[in-house]
Amino acid sequence: MSHPPSPRISLRKKPQQERSNELMAAILEAAVQVLTKEGAQRFTTARVAERAGVSVGSLYQYFPNKAAILFRLQSDEWQQTAEMLRRILEDTSKPPLERLIALVHAFIRSECEEAAIRGALHDAAPLYRDAPEAQEARASGEGILETFMQEALPQVPEPTRAVAAELIATTLTSVGKQFSESPRTDAEIKAYAGALADMVCAYLERIRQR
């Protein structure tokens, strides 16, 4: 049984001039506003164009369809998360566990601050998740945590380190999503992230001592 082809989600063309970059930025900002206000089900290129103050034709110069816009928002979010991981975990001026604590706090806070857009993008994922571009974008952050584990657990066998990296990544993603589904105060975020960081660090210390 054949499957329908994935929608095209690549840009039609990349902006080359400052004016084009400004137009792209306006479209993406409008897309965020429409997505968070209307939700994935009511997200359309016409609504985005209207919010951005441009014609639908101008929007189609860059994005072939709404899936392409949504994918761009999602890929930007994936890239930002990967950059956050890299910036914190590759800071060798701090000991490994201190970096891990900083990562947990930064990740949970980010999840709470961007809960609306991330929830909407999750709902829209079926529109682009099977496209090759999406698979490539998701891979942008792969390997960062595994590399960190080599430094944090140098005497631990590689298979154990791989399991630890996967478990921590899955825990952060799942717990962060669930925690951010309700509005949280700054004190709640700090307390929750602190408790989660303690659990993760205790887990690594236990692996070290085996």
Q: Give 127's pLDDT tier (boundaries 50, 70, 90).
A: confident
pLDDT at 46: 96
Instruction: Please state, as a whole number, how many other Cβ atoms lie within 10 Å of the Cβ of residue 176.
Output: 22
Q: Cα separation of 94 and 143, whole Å? A: 20
- The SS3 assignment for 97 reads helix
The encoded tokens of residue 26 equal 């306006």
Cβ 113 vs Cβ 125: under 8 Å? no
pLDDT at 194: 98
pLDDT at 4 over 60: no
Q: Cα separation of 63 and 100, whole Å? A: 38
Q: Give 2's pLDDT tier (boundaries 50, 70, 90).
A: very low
Residue-averaged pLDDT of the chain: 87
Cβ 197 vs Cβ 101: under 8 Å? yes
pLDDT at 75: 86
Mean pLDDT over residues 5-34, rounded?
74
Would the pTM of this model clear 0.95, i.e. be above it? no
DSSP letter assigned to residue 124:
H
What's the pLDDT tens digit per position in 69-84?
988 898 888 888 889 9
Q: What angle do CA 177, 181, 186 make, to 5 degrees?
A: 95
pLDDT at 1: 43
Q: Give 106's pLDDT tier (boundaries 50, 70, 90).
A: very high
Instruction: Please state, as a whole number, how many other Cβ atoms lie within 10 Å of the Cβ of residue 158.
Output: 11
Q: Cα separation of 78 and 67, whole Å? A: 16
Q: What share of the chain is helix, strand, coil (3-state, %, to 5)?
A: 75, 0, 25
Cβ 97 vs Cβ 202: under 8 Å? no
pLDDT at 35 over 60: yes
Cβ 179 vs Cβ 105: under 8 Å? no
Q: Give 11's pLDDT tier (boundaries 50, 70, 90).
A: low
* 19 against 177, higher pLDDT: 177
| Dihedrals phi, psi of 99, to nearest 5 degrees | -65, -40
Q: Cα separation of 145 and 89, whole Å? A: 8
pLDDT at 123: 82
Mean pLDDT over residues 39-54, rounded?
93
